[in-house]
Structure 1
């Protein structure tokens, strides 16, 4: 930038006063100040625009890097999954060939296993042991109060006809 000291500004002012004259000098000074302000604003806008473009370019580079790494991670995960899937299929085929399972379990088999598991778990975790229930002959399930009342309620006699 131009290095303007106090002495240089004073010299420029004296020359302008002599050349322009004292009556036009304030108007010329205002116009020069407004032009100088516009130039400063324009330079600041250009600087901010350039900095925004640089930041935008950096963000684009970062976005591209992130997308590339995400694609690499996705490819490695899919490759690992395919390897595991191939291992499972080969193990399944080896088991079938060795006289093991002939077909995968059906939904009914799985439901039966789940039901048996729940029943066994209930038998293990209930407060009254199974041998005591079998010895006393008591029922293993609990009835609600409403069901017990309905069971022991006196039955209504069916109305007999007069004819």
Structure 2
């Protein structure tokens, strides 16, 4: 940049005063100031756009890197999945009895779950009241204070000696 000191600025001012004249000097100074301000704003805008473009380029590079990493992870996962499924298929072909045992155990589990639901429903709804009362199922809901009142020791009338 141009190195302007106080002495150089004073020399430029004296030369401008002599060349332009004292009447037109304030107008020319204002014009020079506005032109200098515009030039500075334009330079700042250009700098901002260049820095934005640089940031966008960096972001695009980062996006490409992330996409490549994601594709690599996806490929390795799919490859390991395929290897695992092939191993399972080969094991299943070697030992067909194991597949039927797993299938039977799955059927048995489903049957047990269905029986459990059926038994639970039978316990709660289809039993007669005398059976429920004999085996301890509640028929009526009683609040805690009502239960306490029922089991509280009753006060006896005072016994007189006379």
TMscore range, shorter length: 0.5 to 0.7
Give how far 1:116 is off: 2.7
> In the comparison of the two structures, how many residue pairs are matched?
126
Specify which of 103, 107, 110 is matched with residue 106 of structure 2. 110
Deviation by residue 1:41-70 (Cα, 9 ceiling, x = unmatched): 000000000000000000000000000000
Query: Equivalences for 1:7-156 in 2 at 5 Å?
Result: 7-96=7-96, 100-101=97-98, 105=103, 110-116=106-112, 142-143=123-124, 148-149=128-129
RMSD between aligned residues: 2.9
Deviation (angstroms), 1:112: 3.2
- Alignment CA distance shift 1:21-1:57 (3 Å): same
TM-score (norm 2): 0.68
Residue in 2 that maps onto 1:5: 5
CA–CA separation in structure 1 for the residues paired with 2:4 and 2:32: 16
SS at match of 2:4: coil
Corresponding residue SS for 2:23: coil
Encode CA deviations 1:68-97: one digit per residue, 9 max, x unaligned. Answer: 00000000000000000000000000002x
Moved over 6 A (4+): 117-120
Stretches of structure 2 lacking an aligned partner (at least 5 in a row): 117-121, 132-162
Greater percentage in helix: 2
